[in-house]
Amino acid sequence: MIARILDFIIGLFKWPVAFLAVIALPALFDAMHYFNLANMRFFAFLAGAFIYLALKIVARARSNVSMQILAHEFTHIFFALLTFHKVVHIHLNMDESGGAMGFKGKGNWLIVIGPYFFPLFLFFMMLGITFFSNKIPEGYWVNGILGYFFAYHVESIAVQIHGEQPDFKEVGFPFCWLFLPGANIFMCSAVLAFNNGGWLGIEKYMQILYKLNLHNLAVLLDYFTK
């Protein structure tokens, strides 16, 4: 019952969320100017990202396909469980051509599209840093690890987003092209905000976005009401 109610509510927000992602694009770009990147935390983060890229160049190979598929399916599972759906199976093709997961109920667009914007590994890493902060020794290596997996996430998203994705066909290509750019910029910026100031950094980033969106909306309304 709860899953059906959530599916219905999430379904109602599908197109409003898509258009909001488009309307928020100017604020998302403007908010980047507020990041303080001239600090050792960001340099360590950047170093981690460069290490990932360097290892890829040395290995002359793209990311481990099996890991990408596993992360993809587990992100589907994460949003299925988050919306109270019982997961019944997960399957990875032996030839690394893809995978599938199944759950009970109708489902919703968030389950389908989640892997194309949500950084699952980074999210749980951020939770781990938060809950075990007293057991993690001081050092910029944590920022470096965040940067490493940030680069992995960005590459995974770039590889997965293309016109032949069955998930895109399921939720509709117009929705994907409206929603995914803004959603990905927001998620990546939120990780940068966390790297700079933890969850408080994300809170400040959200406040900046809120103010910028209100300002842009006021300017837009003023333009059309003159």
Every domain of the chain and the residues it spans: 2-225
Lowest model confidence (mean pLDDT) among 9-13, 75-79, 158-162, 172-176: 158-162
Which string of DSSP letters, residue by residue, matches the chain? -HHHHHHHHHHHTHHHHHHHHHHTHHHHHHHGGG----SHHHHHHHHHHHHHHHHHHHHT--S-HHHHHHHHHHHHHHHHHHTTPPEEEEEE-TTSS-EEEEESS---HHHHHGGGT--HHHHHHHHHHHHTGGGSPSSTHHHHHHHHHHHHHHHHHHHH-STT-HHHHHH-HHHHHHHHHHHHHHHHHHHHHHHHHHHHHHHHHHHHHHHHHHHHHHHHHHHHH-
* pTM for this predicted structure: 0.90
pLDDT tens-digit readout, 162-178: 888 999 999 999 999 99
pLDDT tens-digit readout, 38-73: 889 999 999 999 999 898 887 765 556 677 888 899
